[in-house]
């Protein structure tokens, strides 16, 4: 196994092992804390899961940098060298409400670009993974949808618009429902991006700068499944881009137009 293959394998193993920690705490009487706002929640399961993921990564790659949502890990992706981007529970609000739509996310990054990723949905027992060749769900190769008529497409507004930005939230909804056949919202950017990769969704939009732990793994999945991910200017998305626009590629211009409508407020 070459180094990229080893990183892909480690991402999957770390996501599964970390997800198992979170799964044991799911639908239990776990204490819920808040961080930056009333809906920005965290639990001990988030922290314990992140620690398990880091242990699994450092068992094989002890010198790599770690970017993680919780505790004192890095909060931005280094542009040089090898690093890992972790979200122990993406969708913690779902987790604490006993909704089984949340993921343990791990991405391997080299010189600022993802080279492998894994989004494990423990409560649903689905593993979305991508290496340097393709994307997979539970070992089966994935492809984005082939829909090219926006009126047959389903698009997800993702990220969280705070109460002082509800005009943007409303604009995101309006931009989608006036262009596309339907809309979904899952409360997890990583899951939404995974669903674009497997064709269940046709697009994902936000005008906000996405946290790397919410986005990097899923972006790699979409790309390796044949989709397209850009910023609001239509340039290839990076971990520090403004906005995130993901699609099956066939309807990207319309998805991008919807995202820009939010930003134009």
> If we measure between CA atoms, which residue out of 218, 196, 26, 201 comes closest to residue 124?
26
Q: What's the confidence (pLDDT) of residue 5?
A: 93
Q: What's the confidence (pLDDT) of residue 161?
A: 77
Region 104-121 average pLDDT: 98
> Any binding-site annotation on 182?
no
pTM, whole model, 2 decimals?
0.96
21 falls in which pLDDT band (50, 70, 90)? Answer: very high
Region 112-122 average pLDDT: 98
Q: What's the confidence (pLDDT) of residue 265?
A: 67
Q: Within 13 Å of residue 22, how many CA atoms lie on the same side as its CB?
A: 36
Asked if residues 117 and 97 have their Cβ atoms less than 8 Å apart, the reply is no
> Any binding-site annotation on 261?
no
Q: What's the confidence (pLDDT) of residue 25?
A: 97
> Any binding-site annotation on 69?
yes
> Any binding-site annotation on 89?
yes
Q: What's the confidence (pLDDT) of residue 15?
A: 98
> Within 10 A of 51 (CB to CB), how many other CB atoms are there?
16
Chain mean pLDDT for the chain: 95
What percent of the chain shows pLDDT beyond 90? 87
Domains of the chain plus CATH, in order, are: 1-139 (3.30.540.10), 148-262 (3.40.190.80)
> Any binding-site annotation on 126?
no
Q: At what angle do helices 3-25 and 44-58 cross, to 10 degrees?
A: 150
């Amino acid at each position: 196994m070459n180094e990229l293959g080893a990183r892909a394998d480690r991402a999957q193993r770390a996501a599964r092992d970390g997800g198992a920690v979170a799964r044991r705490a799911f639908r239990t009487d776990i204490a819920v804390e808040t961080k930056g706002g009333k809906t920005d929640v965290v639990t001990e399961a988030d922290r314990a899961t992140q620690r398990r993921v880091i242990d699994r990564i450092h068992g094989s790659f002890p010198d790599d940098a770690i970017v993680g949502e919780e505790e004192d890990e890095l909060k931005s992706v280094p542009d040089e060298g090898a690093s890992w981007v972790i979200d122990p529970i993406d969708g913690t609000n779902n987790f604490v409400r006993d909704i089984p739509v949340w993921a343990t996310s791990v991405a391997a990054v080299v010189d600022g670009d993802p080279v492998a990723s894994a989004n494990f949905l423990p409560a649903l027992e689905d593993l979305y993974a991508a290496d340097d060749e393709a994307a997979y769900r539970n070992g089966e190769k994935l492809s984005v949808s082939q829909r090219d008529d926006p009126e047959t497409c389903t698009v997800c507004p993702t990220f969280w618009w705070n109460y002082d930005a509800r005009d943007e939230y409303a604009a995101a909804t309006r931009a989608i429902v006036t262009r596309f056949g339907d809309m979904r919202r899952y409360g997890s950017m990583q899951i939404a991006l995974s669903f674009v990769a497997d064709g269940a969704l046709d697009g994902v939009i936000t005008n906000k700068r996405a946290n790397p732990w919410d986005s990097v793994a899923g972006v790699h999945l979409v790309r390796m499944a044949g989709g397209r991910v850009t910023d609001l200017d239509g340039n290839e998305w990076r971990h520090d881009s403004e906005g995130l626009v993901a699609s099956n590629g066939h309807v990207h211009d319309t998805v991008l137009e919807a995202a820009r409508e939010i930003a134009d407020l």
